[in-house]
Amino acid sequence: MVVAASVVVAVGTVTGMINALDDERGANEARPDATLLVPLPDVPSPSVSAKASSSASTSAKPKKTASPSPTKTGEKRSAPVSPSLYRHPESQVLDWVHDHPDDPRTEVIASRIADQPAAVWFADFTPSTITSRVRAVTSGAAAQGRVPVVVPYAIPDRDCGGASEGGAPDFDAYDGWIDDFAAGLGSREVVVVLEPDSIAQADCLSAAQRADRFEALARAGRALKTADPKARVYYDAGHSDWNPATQQAALLKEAGAASADSSDGIFSNVSNFHATSAEIAYDRQVLDALGGPASLGAVIDTSRNGNGAPADGQWCDPAGRKIGRAPTLDTGEARIDGYLWVKLPGESDGCRGAAGTFTASYAYDLAR
């Protein structure tokens, strides 16, 4: 599942408008506004222009972990920042860093998380503003000559009614929303992580419902690439410990992921923790089974997989995890097009803080 933040909070993804929390949570957490819009690296809430939104996990029951106590900062160097990927100037972590200059955790969080480019999630179904909010992100990236990563997250029956439930009311509405989303892409390169969990998690749907969803995803890919021929659209492959590669490839093919008219390949590990090496091997297996043009590749969410997945299968803010490889579109690995931070480190799955909200103690544990 994916986890984002918004008025709807989930084990999945959500987006929303995030402001620093000034109540009893104090300096440790930021939370989404009560209005649903769009954010960048924040998973839960959205913002009028586009704030951070992120999130994705997989399955397992949440387990609470202890909060960290701050230690002296400055002990870790920041990872190199990609010269090509775009960091949107609005996110929960940037808000927190700005509002807490004297917190002993700030230097580590700022240098190792806030400075890195991350995906911008659009998890709210707001047709009237989606074009302008997407355009705010893509035009900002264009002004810097960088590549933005955007996440449409409004498929009907999202998250199978779980924590990240929501999305468009039906597929006609979704088709229109995607057309409006595509209208904001512009004409430059942009990476589109299309609907996390929409394919790997489709087993909760009936055969007819799956067929409708996969047809909608194929249409979505075509609409995005028609609107912006330089857009790179990637489809949901789950992760290396979910569906077998051949099974996932068969589902992906039904959703249009093998066609150059709608797809540039697949994504995996969104909001999860599996090691990059495991994802590389798995993604190549999926691509081999998928067929399609040799140009199809994969992008991997490396935001929280520095220590790999926990042995007990926990997905909800598990202890002992670390940030992974820095975001880049130059991996040096065949058929692996990029390592991305799709879920922003520090945005909770729902155990260290409210789902989709930025929790400083969690971010600090991941970064130090």
Q: Looking at the annotation, which residues are catalytic?
A: 159, 197, 349
Which amino acid, residue 102?
A: D
User: SS3 of 358, please?
Assistant: strand
Report CA Rg, the chain: 18
> 368: which 2 tokens?
């130090």
> 26: which 2 tokens?
């104090």
Q: Mention every residue, 6+ apart, whose C-beta is less than 8 A from residue 110.
A: 97
Element (H, E) at 183: helix 171-183
> 187: which 2 tokens?
């004409």
Cα distance between residue 139 and residue 148, in whole Å: 9
> 265: which 2 tokens?
């390949």
What's the helix, strand, coil split of the chain in %, to 5?
A: 30, 15, 55
Is 284 exposed, middle or buried, given 0-12, 13-18 or 19+ CB atoms closer than 10 A?
middle
Region of 216 on the Ramachandran plot (φ > 0 left; ψ -120 to 50 alpha; else beta): alpha
Most distant pair of Cα atoms in the chain: their distance:
56
Element (H, E) at 232: strand 231-236
Cα distance between residue 294 and residue 306, in whole Å: 29
Asked whether 118 and 87 are in contact (CB, 8 A), the reply is yes
Within 10 Å of residue 139's Cβ, how many Cβ atoms? Answer: 14
Bridge partners, 15 (sequence order) = none
